[in-house]
Amino acid sequence: MKLWQKSSDVNKTIERFTVGKDKILDMELAYFDVVGSMAHAKMLAKIGILTHEEQIRIQTSLAEILGQIESGKYYIKEGVEDIHSQVELTLTEALGETGKKIHTGRSRNDQVLLDLKLYMRHQIFEIVGHVENLFRRFITLSNQFRHVILPGYTHFQAAMPSSFGLWFGAYAESLADDLVMLKSALEIINRNPLGSAAGYGSSFPLDRQMTTELLAFDSMDYNVVYAQMGRGKAEKVLAAAMGSIADTLGKFSYDVCLYMSQNFGFIRFPDEYTTGSSIMPHKKNPDVFEIIRGKSNRIKSLVNEFNLLTGNLPSGYHREMQLLKESLFDGIHGLKECLYMASFMLEKVQINENIMDDERYNYIYSVELVNDLVRRGTSFREAYREVGKKINEGEYKPRKQLDHTHDGSLGNLMNDRIEALMQAHLDFFKIKNTRIEKSIRTLIEDI
């Protein structure tokens, strides 16, 4: 069954190529397709396209489909093109002509757009949950090891004293900033495209404000042509936000791989959290973080992929839009998995608290000696030359007493401010998600 099919059958080779993996991917949209159809049916009843009795029958049947989806028993049957066709077919089999009315006033174009926006909105809240878990892990470790010093590097050269408190705290704050981009993505995604039909509206007096409220969107995509132009744009803004999180994950993973190496030896993990070599019995490889780093780079590439897919297209719908789904869905699952695994690994991280006993790091205290001379009245440039001369002549002795007290430094991590920053973002998502869940629950239960 195909929603667009009239009398002739499509060549099977053509059908396989154009449908692609949609039948597999569409099952991720099944729940949202039914919820969207529930809102559409209520709206059709309000404007007189469906009778109250027809709307109740459709709503009841959709609720039954939703139960099958949630129990994992619903699937797209052989010969049915996609989830949208399957839901309509199920309604038609159960309700006859009444079931066929569900597609009135909409196109598969705005139906797919709606499903994807509802899906992406849902996934954003799941990503936020994973980000919060990793953030809490970073903050806890930052506070726990705030006084353990490690060398900070510039140009891959040991440069100045840092600490595990600074290191973990930096990535916590990075995640807080990443949520700003995710908030922006949600604001663009959380707008209702339903009623734009094929991209040019409908002669039916559709109540788009009603479906906007039923589905807890912030607003609608007002212009119906723009609603269709949103296909690809919504995916790109979400991919950009995901890419920001992935960038944080990738950079942290690189640090971990570096710090685990024998040349550094800053951190380690239990044997069961690492892998070995087939010929070198001493190896403890950071495979998890290498895979996170690799997957993060793939996620960061999504924006470019989506730009290439959609950047040279005019307004209106085009079939290559379908190709966005596979990469987007894979990227979302990959990001959530990476966030989970990073947090999981950090439960067992082991910190080397004696790093600075190694004499190779003595020179990172040179700035402390310069600053000490400045405090005693020497100009900074003269103090710099004096310490440099002692280093060159072998007379340098490190001053290991650290007195960093300014905001965000070794002795003043500002973790409470970072937590407050993150909490403000989390509160935004929590309030938004609570309202959405309440509206969707009311829509489903109000038969």
Place of tokens 């007290």: 405
Task: Give the whole-angstrom CA distance, residue 111 versus residue 99.
Answer: 16
The more confident residue out of 303 and 317 is 303
The more confident residue out of 315 and 31 is 31
Mean pLDDT for the stretch of residues 229-255: 96
pLDDT of residue 327: 95
Question: If DSSP codes are grouped into helix, strand and coil, which group holds residue 280?
Answer: coil
Task: Give the whole-angstrom CA distance, residue 424 versus residue 431.
Answer: 11
Cα 156–159–161 angle (5° rounding)? 125
pLDDT of residue 276: 56
The more confident residue out of 3 and 118 is 118
pLDDT of residue 4: 44
Write the single-letter amino acid at 187: E
Question: If DSSP codes are grouped into helix, strand and coil, which group holds residue 35?
Answer: helix
Catalytic residue (one of 147, 219, 261, 277): 277
Question: If DSSP codes are grouped into helix, strand and coil, which group holds residue 159?
Answer: strand
Mean pLDDT for the stretch of residues 286-307: 96
Res 2 pLDDT > 90: no
The runs of H, that is alpha helices, within 190-285 are: 208-214, 224-260
Mean pLDDT for the stretch of residues 65-81: 93
Task: Give the whole-angstrom CA distance, residue 266 versus residue 260.
Answer: 6
Greatest mean pLDDT among 197-206, 266-275, 398-407? 197-206
Write the single-letter amino acid at 188: I
Catalytic residue (one of 7, 8, 71, 155): 155
Place of tokens 């960038």: 247
Beta bridge partners of 163: 149
Task: Give the whole-angstrom CA distance, residue 24 versus residue 179.
Answer: 30
pLDDT of residue 91: 97
The per-residue pLDDT for range 159-212, each reduced to its tens digit, is 999 999 999 999 999 999 999 999 999 999 999 999 999 999 999 999 999 999
Question: What is the CATH number assigned to the segment(s) 108-153+162-196+222-357?
Answer: 1.20.200.10
Res 280 pLDDT > 80: no
Mean pLDDT for the stretch of residues 291-301: 97
Which residue in 157, 159, 156, 147 sits closest to 366, CA to CA? 159
pLDDT of residue 10: 65
CB 265 within 8 Å of CB 354: no
pLDDT of residue 239: 98
pLDDT of residue 317: 82
Res 386 pLDDT > 70: yes
Whole-number average pLDDT of the chain: 92
The per-residue pLDDT for range 116-149, each reduced to its tens digit, is 999 999 999 999 999 999 999 999 999 999 999 9
Read out DSSP for 344-393? HHHTT-EE-TTGGGSGGGGGGGHHHHHHHHHHTT--HHHHHHHHHHHHHT
pLDDT of residue 318: 82
Res 273 pLDDT > 70: yes
Mean pLDDT for the stretch of residues 377-387: 94
Which residue in 155, 137, 153 sits closest to 145, CA to CA? 137
Place of tokens 């685990």: 260
Res 24 pLDDT > 90: no
First-to-final CA distance of the chain: 28
Residue 144's contacts (CB-CB under 8 Å, 6 or more residues apart) are none
What six digits make up the tokens of 98? 């009444």
> Would you list the domain boundaries of the chain?
12-103, 108-153+162-196+222-357
Is the Cα dihedral 302, 274, 148, 373 positive or negative?
Answer: negative
- Residues 409-441, buried b or exposed e (16+ Cβ, 10 A)? ebeebebeebbebbeebbebbeebbeebeebbe
Mean pLDDT for the stretch of residues 227-234: 91
* 155 has catalytic annotation: yes
- Tell me whether the CATH fold assigned to 12-103 matches the one assigned to 108-153+162-196+222-357: no
pTM recorded for the entire structure: 0.93
**Looking at 146-160, 220-234, 263-277, which range is the least confident one?**
263-277
Task: Give the whole-angstrom CA distance, residue 421 versus residue 411.
Answer: 20
CB 305 within 8 Å of CB 298: no
CATH top-level class of 12-103: mainly alpha
Mean pLDDT for the stretch of residues 92-105: 96
pLDDT band at 382; cut points 50, 70, 90: very high
